[in-house]
Amino acid sequence: MSDGQDTNSQNKPTRQLTRDAKEIIIYFSRSGSTELLAAKLAKLTGADILEIVVDKPYSGNYHRTLSRANNERLNADYPELRMSLPDLSQYRRVYLGFPIWAMTLAHPMSSFLLEYGAALSHKQLVPFMSEGGYGQGSSVQKIAQLLRQQGVSADLYRRPLVVDGNKVDRADYQIERWLKNLG
């Protein structure tokens, strides 16, 4: 799943939008773990779902991705996206899903927040993530910082769902418990 041998970029981007949903899951996933987590959340909540797509996909090779990600970080050069944002006005709650990269948000989610942050104004934002065993790092603070930087005021939930990328298939109970606390 997250061994870097496969990549999510070959699949058709997920985009399931309905007229009546009040919640939407917006996520990025390179190797499929966050995508699986997003699919489980969608099933449990009935939320709409939208995948963040980068213009130039990350390599399926883990080391090549690591090296690209390091360069992007050093240069604060976040990737261009290739997607259109639907009208978000119907949604009260937005789940934001991403993998942890270098102890913080994966770059495509930073790109998304920089490009479309204004559309998240006054919504409840609920982060969830998959990671490789080192936890959430500074990801939630980074979301807050990117929004603040743009003057976006939103209600950011500070107790994210954090799941080991290799254990998403066994995380149902954890996800359900977290959702119950979220209310």
Out of 91, 131, 156, 160, the only residue in the binding site for ligand FMN (CB under 6 A) is 131
Out of 14, 23, 26, 32, the only residue in the binding site for ligand FMN (CB under 6 A) is 32
Does 128 bind ligand FMN (CB under 6 A)? Our answer is: no
Out of 39, 102, 114, 154, the only residue in the binding site for ligand FMN (CB under 6 A) is 102
- Footprint of ligand FMN on 151-180 (CB under 6 A): 165
Cα–Cα distance list, 111 to 36, 44, 82, 116, 146 (Å): 21, 27, 11, 8, 10
User: Which one of 64-72, 82-90, 120-128, 175-183 is the stretch in contact with ligand FMN (CB under 6 A)?
Assistant: 64-72
CB of 115 to ligand FMN, least distance (A): 20
According to DSSP, the β-strands at 124-131 and 104-105 are unpaired
**Quick one: DSSP state of residue 85?**
P
Burial class (CB in 10 A: 0-12, 13-18, 19+), 122: exposed
Instruction: Give dist(CA 120, CA 92) in Å, integer.
Output: 9
Does 66 bind ligand FMN (CB under 6 A)? Our answer is: yes
Does 132 bind ligand FMN (CB under 6 A)? Our answer is: yes
Count CA atoms closer than 13 A to 124's CA, side-chain side. 12
Q: b/e per residue, 29-62, with b = 16+ CB within 10 A?
A: bbbbbbbbbbbbbbeebebbbbbbbbeebbbbeb
Structure tokens at 75: 């240069």
How many residues lie near ligand FMN (CB under 6 A)? 23
Does 31 bind ligand FMN (CB under 6 A)? Our answer is: yes
3-state secondary structure of 134: coil
Q: Cβ closer to ligand FMN: 30 or 93?
A: 30
Q: Cβ closer to ligand FMN: 99 or 152?
A: 99
Q: Cβ closer to ligand FMN: 59 or 90?
A: 59
Does 111 bind ligand FMN (CB under 6 A)? Our answer is: no
Which chain residues interact with ligand FMN by CB under 6 A?
A: 2, 29-35, 62, 65-66, 69, 99-103, 130-134, 165
